[in-house]
Amino acid sequence: MVRGHQRSNRLQPGIRPRRRFRAAAAALAAVLAGGSLAGGLFIAPSAFADSWRDKEYWLNEYGISAAWQVSKGAGVKVAIIDSGVDGQHPDLKDAVVGGTDASGAGSPDGQKSIGSKPEHGTLVATLLAGRGHTPPSPSGAPASPSPAAGSIGSDGIVGVAPEAQILTVSAWLGSPNPAGKTDQEQIPEAVRWAVDNGAKVINISLGSTSPDWPQSWDAAFLYAEQKDVVVVAAAGNRIAGNVQVGAPATIPGVLTVAGLDRNRTASVDASSQGISIGVSAPSEQLVGGLPGGSYEDWAGTSGSAPIVSGVAALIRSKWPTMSAKQVINRIVSTAQDAGAPGKDPIYGYGILNAEAALKADVPEAQSNPLGSIADWIRVHRRGDLSTPTPLPTTKVSSSLPPLADPTVPVAKAPSEADTTVPAAVVVGFGVLFIAILAGATFQLRRAYRAPPKPVEATESGEVEVVDPSPPK
């Protein structure tokens, strides 16, 4: 299991990754998860936080700023299943309202950064629900208080849904977990906790190189579907080895997000492809916050996913009673078509249009356009969907009737009726054959007795038959 983001200095892999803090730069070594994460961190110049805000091109270019006229995500809880979210980051002040640890190696509140990419969860959280912060005064006095609820600070990262609330669920992924719990155990536990604690949207910026998922995940994602929760997942990155979309982004009903470059075309490195892709969003030249209060340039569908999760939060805030399938339908049906006409494995239904998703008239969908895990389980696992409980480990009896015991057919003597019809058929064919033979004999004898007609040559040398009988 790898995380769906990459560092942005992919053109210069030999450069050691470095971070620039406001006062000084600190050099750090990049931790690679089995070679699946590549490239170094882009070396950003020293700058105040407002320069980071200026880099958030997607806010205007993808209709997010215009969507804020309708909603900013107030009252919606979004769970982030990741490496942990630092709720003390200046741009996340009062944003994190709950959390837990699914790994056994983190802190009980889910805010300790863990795993092979400990900064990953905070990057995702600031992009999704950052509030920005108030800058310090020019005189060097202490910084002003954080912006009041409902307002956005002028500096730092502002997320797509700046009034949404974050639930952080820390998981140890990308390297051996010191607590021993595998991703097969952590992911379903994290999903269930998020659902039980009021999440209306779950963001999973994690992925794998396999399209298949453990059967142990079925019940958890079914539980989220039955409880009407929108689940958003990253498609993965080619540069990290995800040429095809991997689980959990392949699970039916999950809104899978592919990545775009700065020109709104499919990213070569920071995206993937597959039939489960629902929509595309920016994945290159992204920015986000790091644990401890600093910032970073980054890239990957790990950033595309929280942008879309933020739009889902805006919709659920505007229409609290709207079902998850309608939320997903609103996002994909208002996307700008790209690539091959209609849905395709590169862009999905198209490019995210946040303004249209919040303002357009969208017909009600009869079902989730991205499928249903319940239907999938019914077909492929033959699971019992009556209750959202984990699938039993013991053998489940099939709902189909059992096949009858095989038996050897017993021969029986033919009846009188069985023999009468075949005999009549044989006699009929015999009479017909005799009649045909007699007719043929009669014609042959007639032809033999008739006198031959004389022939003579014409002036052209051709031969023609001369009828000796006089004209009538």
DSSP 99-110: EEESSSSS-TTS
Q: Which residues contact 404 (CB under 8 A, 6 or more apart)?
A: none
Q: What is the mean pLDDT of residues 41-46?
A: 34
Q: Which of 5, 89, 120, 133 is catalytic?
A: 120
From 279, 265, 272, 213, select the one nearest 237 (Cα to Cα): 272
Helices (H) and strands (E) in the chain, counts: 11, 18
Contact 222, 334 (CB under 8 A): no
Q: Any catalytic annotation for residue 367?
A: no
Residue 443: what pLDDT? 61
Q: What is the mean pLDDT of residues 213-236?
A: 97
What is the per-residue pLDDT across 255-313, written as a single tens digit (0 to 9) for each?
999 999 999 999 999 999 999 999 999 999 999 999 999 999 999 999 999 999 999 99
Average the pLDDT over each of 175-179, 281-285, 417-421, 459-463 and give the range with the smallest value: 459-463
Residue 240: what pLDDT? 86
Cα-only R_g, the chain: 37
Q: What is the mean pLDDT of residues 400-409?
A: 33
Phi-psi region of 301 (alpha: psi -120 to 50; beta: other; left: phi over 0): alpha
Cα of first residue to Cα of last residue in the chain, in angstroms, is 105
d(CA 198, CA 192): 10
184 phi, psi to nearest 5 deg: -65, -30
Q: What is the mean pLDDT of residues 447-463?
A: 44
How many degrees, rounded to 5, is the angle at CA 171 between CA 170 and CA 174?
135
Contact 122, 87 (CB under 8 A): no
Residue 206: what pLDDT? 92
Place 435 in a pLDDT band, splitting at 50, 70 and 90.
low
What is the per-residue pLDDT across 46-101, written as a single tens digit (0 to 9) for each?
344 478 999 999 999 999 999 999 999 999 999 999 999 999 999 999 999 999 99
d(CA 243, CA 269): 9
Average the pLDDT over each of 64-68, 364-368, 438-442 and give the range with the smallest value: 438-442
Residue 151: what pLDDT? 72
What is the per-residue pLDDT across 130-165, written as a single tens digit (0 to 9) for each?
999 988 766 655 555 555 555 788 899 999 999 999
- The answer, yes or no, to whether the previous bond of 142 is cis (omega within 30 of 0) is no
Place 327 in a pLDDT band, splitting at 50, 70 and 90.
very high
Q: Which residues contact 142 (CB under 8 A, 6 or more apart)?
A: 136
Cα separation values, 78 from 128, 160, 193, 230, Å:
9, 12, 12, 9
**How far out from the chain centre does Cα 106 lie?**
28
From 212, 228, 214, 193, select the one nearest 374 (Cα to Cα): 228
Structure tokens at 106: 């983190």
Contact 329, 368 (CB under 8 A): yes
Residue 4: what pLDDT? 53
Q: Which of 36, 71, 82, 271 is catalytic?
A: 82
Q: 348 pLDDT exceeds 70?
A: yes
Q: What is the mean pLDDT of residues 340-352?
A: 97
Q: Any catalytic annotation for residue 91?
A: no
Q: Which residues contact 239 (CB under 8 A, 6 or more apart)?
A: 6, 10, 38, 39, 269, 270
Place 445 in a pLDDT band, splitting at 50, 70 and 90.
low
Q: What is the mean pLDDT of residues 232-241?
A: 94
d(CA 273, CA 66): 29
Residue 365: what pLDDT? 95
Q: Any catalytic annotation for residue 82?
A: yes
Q: 36 pLDDT exceeds 60?
A: no
**Residue bearing tokens 């993965």:** 236
Cα separation values, 64 from 67, 130, 220, 356, 358, Å:
5, 14, 31, 10, 9
Count of positions (residues) in the chain: 472
At residue 213, the 3 state secondary structure works out as coil
Q: What is the mean pLDDT of residues 446-463?
A: 45
Of residues 459 and 24, more confidently modeled: 459
Q: Which residues contact 155 (CB under 8 A, 6 or more apart)?
A: 48, 49, 50, 52, 53, 132, 133, 134, 135
Q: 457 pLDDT exceeds 90?
A: no
Of residues 460 and 315, more confidently modeled: 315
Q: Which of 302, 304, 309, 317 is catalytic?
A: 302
What is the per-residue pLDDT across 9-21, written as a single tens digit (0 to 9) for each?
332 222 223 333 3
